[in-house]
Structures are given as structure tokens and as C-alpha cells.
Amino acid sequence: MTDSEYEVAMAMVGGLWSGFKKPPPGAVRDMWLRILGDVSTEDFSSALSVLVERGQKFAPGLSEIKATVNEMRMEAAPLWSEVWAEILEHVRNAPDLKPVQGTVWPALRPWSAPVIGQLVDLVGWGTVSQCYDEDLGVLEAQCRNKYEALVKRAQEDRVLARIPGDLPRLEQARQRSEGFASVGDVIRLGNGS
């Protein structure tokens, strides 16, 4: 969000909630700009519409607006039912193919979203392709939990990537926000290293 977009955004909030006081210039305004840095005017406006529809009586704060934008982005991730259907389609159409180490599988038929390839790499193609029908429900539940964690981590990384500092967690978030983490990174972070 640029300075001019910020002014438009504040005018939108003021137009919807009469008691809204624009943040004063200085540190508070800079914080709003930093936290809303990756939020477009359209996303901001959509978040305000959602808050109005929910019956928000008072002007929302920065955290409420950012949380609503993040919720909307979560909904923008592929639906789990679509992800699972795509995985099953790949299993049915190419059960004997195995991914080449270090590549997105299958190279000839890429996944519709990088997170799906990352999920399959994390779970293991062998586990997915050799699952018996009676165990399919268990595998789906495990994959769904991992998928939701991957999507949530990607969203958190986008937020953390903009925070200044040289802490290891922030640096890892910056690297992952440029693309999804490798399976090795996910495993290391999951073990607390």
C-alpha cells in the first residue's frame, strides 16, 4: 500500500464508520503502512465490506482489518476438495510414475498450485499412490491437516517477511515467502531446529 492508497483507505474507513479517527502521522501511521504493505486497495475495500456485513458497529482497528484480509486470502487458496480430487486424479492416471528427486511431480502434468506438489512431496508419493481404498479416509484426513498447515504457514510467512530484523525465523520466512519451502525446510522447522 502506497501513501496515496493509504489516504484512500483511511477515507473509506471514515466513510463507513463516523467515529473513526485517522491514525496520527509518525510511528502509528508508519506501522499501518508497514503492516498493510502487501494489501491492495481492492483487498482493503473487500475486507471493509466483510466487516460491514458482519455487523461491525465501531471502526475496525489495524489488527481486525489485517485478520479479515488474511481470512480472505485463506479462502483464495484452493479448496481442499479440489486439492484432494486433483491428487486422486493423478494417482488414478499415473500410479506407477514416481517423482524425480528435487522436481515438482509430475513434470509433464504439473500441479495446479505449488502447494499441492509440496503437500505430495511432504506426505510422500509412495504413501499416496499405494494407499488401500479402506485407508483412503485416514490418508485424506492426514493430508488435509498438512495442507491447512502449509497454507497457514505461507500466509504467516508473507506477514513475517516484511518485519525488519535479522532473527533466523524472520529470515526463513523471507526465503519461504518467495516460494514454498523445500520439504527439508519444513521438516527441520517442524522439529524445532
Task: Centre a 10 Å sphere on the Cβ of residue 163 and count the other Cβ atoms it contains.
Answer: 13
The grid cell for 188 is: 527441520
- Three cell numbers at 30? 508508519
Q: Indicate if 111 and 152 belong to the same structural domain.
A: yes
Residue 4 pLDDT: 85
Residue 10, number of CB atoms within 10 A of its CB: 17
> Burial letters for 166-181: b for 16+ Cβ neighbours within 10 Å, e otherwise?
eeeebebbeebbeebb
SS3 content of the chain, % helix, strand, coil (to 5): 65, 0, 35
Q: What is the pLDDT of residue 144?
A: 93
Task: Specify the pLDDT at position 159.
Answer: 62
Q: Are residues 178 and 91 in the same domain?
A: yes
Grid cell of 83 as nine digits:
486439492
In terms of domains, do 69 and 85 share one? no
C-alpha atoms less than 13 angstroms from C-alpha of 136 in its C-beta half-sphere: 9
Of 76, 97, 126, the residue that ends a domain is: 76
Tell me which residues of the chain have a pLDDT lower than 70: 74-76, 94-109, 158-167, 169-170, 173-193
Judgement on whether residues 21 and 42 belong to the same structural domain of the protein: yes
Q: Do 95 and 55 share a structural domain?
A: no
CA–CA dist 103, 124 (Å, integer): 13
pTM: 0.49
| Residue 68 lies in domain | 3-76
The reported pLDDT for the residue numbered 133 is 77
Query: Do you know the residue count of the chain?
Result: 193
Give the end of a domain, one of 25, 52, 76. 76
Residue after which a domain boundary falls, among 26, 44, 76: 76
Residue located via cell numbers 518467495: 178
